[in-house]
A and B are shown apart, each in its own frame.
Chain A
Amino acid sequence: MGGMRTFIIRRLLLLIPTLIGVSLLIFAVSQAFTPEQRAAAYIRGEPKQPDVIPNIIKKYHLNDTFYMQYYYWMSRLLQGDLGISTWAHIPVATAILQGIPASFELVMLSIPITIILGIYLGVLSAVHRDTIIDHATRFLAIIGWSLPTFWLALMLISVFYGQLGWIGTGRLSAAAETFATSGSFIRYTGVYTFDGILNGQLWITIDALKHLILPAITLTIIQIALIIRVMRSSMLEALSKGYTILARAKGLSINEVVNKHARRNALIPVVTLSGLLAAGMLTGVVITETCFNYKGLGYFAAHAAMQLDIPGILGFAMFTGIVFVIANLVVDVLYAFVDPRIRLG
């Protein structure tokens, strides 16, 4: 296992320069704004006096050289200060922390559905290659991938909320919302599905789940094509490998050959893909949350964009970058675990 340990340590060390690079990129983007614009990040509301802004500029070193600015910006960043969002009027860091449980819930529901369904359909496609099943699956998957997220989300809302009135938008229905924000409901995690259970108020959990279904379906429909495509091609590759023929020569049934031998190998690239999927979720989540009025990270980011909230967007981008870099690391380590050739060197 020594090889594993050095591998992990090496990746962890590589993490630091990458994170620094990410922060540099965001910082460089922020330099596109004038010091006055950037000063807005540190005031709540409109400045009352004419010399507030010059004071801010001086205080936060917004006019210094590139390196000095980066230094001060970084030190504030490491303390968790990302400035104040001009549209939400709260610190960006707070807004992000508030948004995390919501988006987490959504992603936690969508990813397993997407992956499991995607794997099943990918295997199906590969085993029935070039038949109608294969073509139909791939066609439907491509359609899903080609749909504009906002259209699909709005369509689902129109049908299921507008016409049928089954499920509403937002994270909870009005009644549940009032209850959840009252004193009798303790928000341990901020994730309503969990909190409902922890509080013994299962109806909150169910309500939250009802509101999660449509956004999760939206995300699944759009993203499943990624999984199906990779699973299909890695299955096809596994099925053409020597061990598949040997498995048949041993007398194993086609099912066993496909499900045990081929699929286990084909899953390996899908593990890496999950990292990409996480990124895709973050992208899709911005539009989806906005359409469904689902107040998570994406919702915050979308409104920040619509109202040109510079600290908000930059803070969000920074956060996303960090998450994604860490996710990539986790995926790389997972990959090494899953493939014995890498694990045992």
Chain B
Amino acid sequence: MNISEFKRRIKPTLNEIGFTLKRIKKSPLSIVGLAIIIFYAAVALLAPVIAPPLGPDPYLMPHWGAGKWDPIPKPPSAEHLFGTTSYQYDIFYGCIWGTRTAFRIGFEVVVVALIIGLMLGSVAGYYGGIIDEVLMRFTDIIYAFPGLVLAMALVIALGRGLDNVLLALVLVGWPTYARVIRGEVMKVKGEDYVEAAKAIGCSDLRVLVKHIIPNAIYPIIIMASLDMGAIVLTAAALSFLGLGSGAGYSDWGQLVANSRDYITGTYGNMFAYWHAFTIPSMFIFTFVLGWNLLGDAFRDILDPTIRRK
């Protein structure tokens, strides 16, 4: 296949992508979402520049000096731009490097859950029968639990720490992807062109890849972008409950958890330590908002039935 042939083959796909981008431009909310994500991506990339690491592991927040055992969070100052949490962790540092953690959490969980869901879902949908039944029952069981609750149980069992949190979230999250893929596979399985492809000898795998993926990709994009937000929120909730990455780690949820005892302020002034929990929470909020806006816009744009109206 030479260059012109390739260009011809790829033209319809490029047209579709172009159309999608045009629609994205028309929706102000999705532009906002995209802008937010790009901003955070930039922050994450430039983390070493903005907040130079001061130790061997950049994710561990700076925690030294005489004040190390001072449980009272300090407000923003010249030295600590966003102030400090209880026991003097620098919030600014934590938030900047926490951006990287957030992206890491989101991407790793989504990608792994997606891969698992893809494999199990396509096998179940394609071969049907007992394999399908077993998978459906299994996802039913996992669905029987609200995400946070099951994640809590898993993290308690596996132990705290970021890796276990990620593992727990993957185990909680893969069924949604498996179900969607399975649905798409079953929809396409009965189509005539699949029969035709098999008749001319295409292997099962080729059929799956060539025909299922293009159809399934739209709902997956939507789910993945929405999941990015949901997973970061769940991880933050876990951290808030003390089941997160551990006190010194640069993670937004962890930063809030660090100051949990001081959230209600002093006796006379409830807002005395607002910076300790509001600033990291705002990071969480805007990050999740960006992905939710984008995912919502995707849902509108990529819905094939209303695309052309």
Which A residues fall within an 8 A CB radius of B? 17-18, 21-22, 24-26, 29-30, 32-33, 135, 138-139, 142-143, 145-151, 154-155, 157-158, 161-163, 229, 236, 279-280, 282-283, 286-287, 290, 301-302, 305-306, 308, 310, 313-314, 316-317, 320-321, 324-325, 328
Contacts and interface: CB of A to CB of B under 8 A. Distances in A.
Closest 10 CB pairs of A and B: A162-B270, A151-B281, A32-B157, A21-B141, A283-B146, A146-B289, A283-B148, A146-B288, A279-B146, A317-B153
Contacts of A308: 156
Interface string B283-302: 01100110011001000000
A147 B141 contact: no
Interface in B234-291: 236-237, 240-243, 253, 256, 263-265, 269-271, 274, 277-278, 281, 284-285, 288-289
Contacts of A143: 289
A161 B270 contact: yes
Contact of B144 (A158, A162, A324): A324
B265 A158 contact: yes
Nearest to A147: B285
Given A151-B285, A325-B144, A146 B229 contact: yes
Interface residues of B, number: 48
A150 B240 contact: yes
A25 B142 contact: yes
A320 B140 contact: no
Given A317-B152, A317-B153, A324-B145, A148 B140 contact: no
B147 interface: yes
B157 A33 contact: yes
Nearest to A293: B264
- Specify the main secondary structure of chain B where it touches its partner: helix
- Specify the main secondary structure of chain A where it touches its partner: helix
Interface of B: 28-29, 137-138, 140-142, 144-150, 152-154, 156-158, 229, 233, 236-237, 240-243, 253, 256, 263-265, 269-271, 274, 277-278, 281, 284-285, 288-289, 292-293, 296, 306
Contacts of B242: 305-306
Contacts of A161: 270
Contacts of A30: 157
Nearest to B265: A162
12 contacts: A21-B137, A143-B289, A146-B233, A146-B292, A148-B236, A149-B237, A163-B271, A283-B146, A286-B237, A287-B237, A305-B242, A317-B152
Nearest to B226: A145
Which of A18, A163, A283 neighbours the largest number of chain B CB atoms within 10 Å of its CB? Answer: A283
Contacts, number: 140
Contacts of A162: 264-265, 269-271
Nearest to B287: A146
B229 to A, nearest CB: 6
A242 to B, nearest CB: 15
Given A154-B264, A302-B241, 15 more contacts: A18-B141, A21-B137, A32-B157, A135-B28, A145-B292, A148-B233, A148-B256, A149-B237, A151-B277, A151-B284, A162-B265, A236-B306, A313-B153, A317-B149, A321-B144
Given A162-B265, A321-B144, A324-B146, A154 B156 contact: no
A149 B147 CA distance: 14
Which of A18, A32, A279, A305 neighbours the largest number of chain B CB atoms within 10 Å of its CB? Answer: A305
A157 B277 contact: no
A314 B153 contact: yes
B270 A158 contact: yes
Given A146-B288, A148-B285, A151-B285, A313 B146 contact: no
Given A142-B289, A280-B146, A301-B149, A148 B156 contact: no
A287 B240 contact: yes
Contacts of B149: 282-283, 286, 301, 316-317, 320
Contact of A142 (B140, B274, B293): B293
A277 to B, nearest CB: 11
Contacts of B264: 154, 157-158, 162
A139 B140 CA distance: 32
Contacts of A142: 29, 289, 292-293, 296
B81 to A, nearest CB: 20
Contacts of B158: 32
B296 A320 contact: no
Contacts of B137: 17-18, 21
B24 to A, nearest CB: 15
A25 to B, nearest CB: 5
B54 to A, nearest CB: 28
A163 B269 CA distance: 8
Nearest to A324: B144
A306 B237 CA distance: 12
B145 A163 contact: no
Nearest to A315: B153
